[in-house]
Structure 1
Amino acid sequence: MDQVRTRAARDQQRLDSGAVTSPKDLENLQREIASLARRQSDLEDVVLDVMERRESAQGRVAELTERLAAVQAASDQAAARRDEATAGIDTEIADVRREREAVAASVPADLLKLYEKLREQQDGVGAARLYQRRCEGCQLELNITELNDVRAAAPDAVVRCENCRRILVRTAESGL
């Protein structure tokens, strides 16, 4: 746009100075000045349009930057809650492990070995509670013969489910 202005000013000076004497040259010079004025107007319109779009884009950038900051803050809060929960879980795991070690020390070695073997085979569950005549390991109800065998077993005998082979833990709610 500056080039158009400079050229228009130079042509206008030539026209005003009277250096051009030929009518044909004067007419051509006047046409070129008019053409340059139209070109300058068109370029100014383009510049205004670009400035408006730039202003709109800057507003959008500011809005998105603000939203990004809000999302980042929410993400940081979620990460802090996750880290806090993870620390709590780690503490709980350590407590449960200590409790398990204390109980495992009082269990006979052969029973503990059987339990660990079953645990590996049964997705981490080696023993299941017998609740209302149902094994909570496989969720199947024991038939009358199996229930009679469990009833007849000594209180300290190791009883296993016939379906899933887990060790059955008998309680008052066993339904015996």
Structure 2
Amino acid sequence: MKAAPTDQLRLLDLQGMDTRLDQLAHRRRTLPESAELERVEARLRELRDLVVAAETERSDVERERAKAETDVAQVRDRARRDQQRLDSGQVTSAKQLSDLQHEIASLARRQSDLEDVELEVMERLESVEERLAGLVAERDRAEAERAEVAARRDAAWSGIDDEAATTADLRGTLAGQVDAKLVALYEKVRADQGGTGAAPLRQRRCMGCMLELTTVDIGRIAAAPEDEVLRCEECDRILVRTPESGL
């Protein structure tokens, strides 16, 4: 392929812009803020699940407390009614009096047992509510942290995207100034060679594969016409001659 030496030199500028675009894309994918955000979001999901579980547990314990309070109230009401009957003097039979006194004593023991159950349930409820309050506070802090990290990531993305857009515009303008066939060859080689399609020959070394050329290769390049498009024998990239080639 033949191409004007100036067009070949422009390939190096084009390569520089493509390299910068690749660097920006890599930086965008690997921002520390993105990894930090993933960590915060994972913790936030965990905390939300824990909050839901604690709220469910609280509801269950609240139902237990309501039942315990009802049980105590029922026994207390019955004991009060029995005591009123006993105190009224309406029960005169010795057996009925004995039975009533026995029932009042049994109800007192039953009430004491139920009040112990109620106290235990209330203590569990207090513990669950404290744990829930701690989880909610931690969840809220995680949500605030997520918003802050996301804002930093978005700001970094914005800066990267702005530079990438400016570079892409300049790249498009420059590509339009280079022979279309040369650009097409460059794009193909760049795709085949992991992002580098053209490299300068500097001090007899291909700056694409960083290998020093042989004496035979140097002789071939020195004898080639200025408009001939050269390729590195080792890496197959377009090799651009410059004043620093050492020919």
Instruction: Give the CA deviation at 1:28.
Output: 2.2
Larger radius of gyration: 1
Deviates more, 1:20-29 or 1:43-52: 20-29
Pair 154,5 (structure 1): closer, same or farther in 2 beyond 3 Å:
same
* 2:100 is the counterpart of 1:29: yes
Distance in 2 (CA, whole Å) between partners of 1:125 and 1:98 is 19
For 1:75, the equivalent position in structure 2 comes to: 146
| 1:85-108 C-alpha deviation (Å, 9 max, x unpaired) | 111111111111122123223322
Pair 14,94 (structure 1): closer, same or farther in 2 beyond 3 Å:
same
Higher helix share: 2
Residue 112 of structure 1 aligns with an amino acid whose one-letter code is V
TM-score if structure 1 supplies the norm length?
A: 0.82
The equivalent position to 2:126 in structure 1, one of 34, 55, 78, is 55
The equivalent position to 1:124 in structure 2, one of 176, 179, 195, is 195
Contiguous gaps of at least 5 residues in structure 2: 1-71
For 1:9, the equivalent position in structure 2 comes to: 80
Q: Once the two structures are aligned, what percentage of the paired residues are identical?
A: 57
Contiguous gaps of at least 5 residues in structure 1: none
Instruction: Give the CA deviation at 1:149.
Output: 3.0
For 1:106, the equivalent position in structure 2 comes to: 177
Residue 28 of structure 1 aligns with an amino acid whose one-letter code is D
Higher relative contact order (CA 8 A, sep 6+): 2
* 2:220 is the counterpart of 1:149: yes
- Give RMSD over aligned pairs: 2.6
For 2:137, the equivalent position in structure 1 comes to: 66
Distance in 1 (CA, whole Å) between partners of 2:91 and 2:205 is 114
Pair 60,36 (structure 1): closer, same or farther in 2 beyond 3 Å:
same
For 1:91, the equivalent position in structure 2 comes to: 162
Pair 133,58 (structure 1): closer, same or farther in 2 beyond 3 Å:
farther
Secondary structure of the corresponding residue to residue 106 of structure 1: coil
TM-score if structure 2 supplies the norm length?
A: 0.61
Distance in 1 (CA, whole Å) between partners of 2:106 and 2:142 is 53
Deviates more, 1:19-28 or 1:67-76: 19-28
Deviates more, 1:47-56 or 1:136-145: 136-145
Distance in 2 (CA, whole Å) between partners of 1:21 and 1:123 is 107
Pair 24,165 (structure 1): closer, same or farther in 2 beyond 3 Å:
same
Distance in 2 (CA, whole Å) between partners of 1:108 and 1:70 is 58
Distance in 2 (CA, whole Å) between partners of 1:146 and 1:166 is 14
Distance in 2 (CA, whole Å) between partners of 1:143 and 1:35 is 109
Number of aligned residues: 176
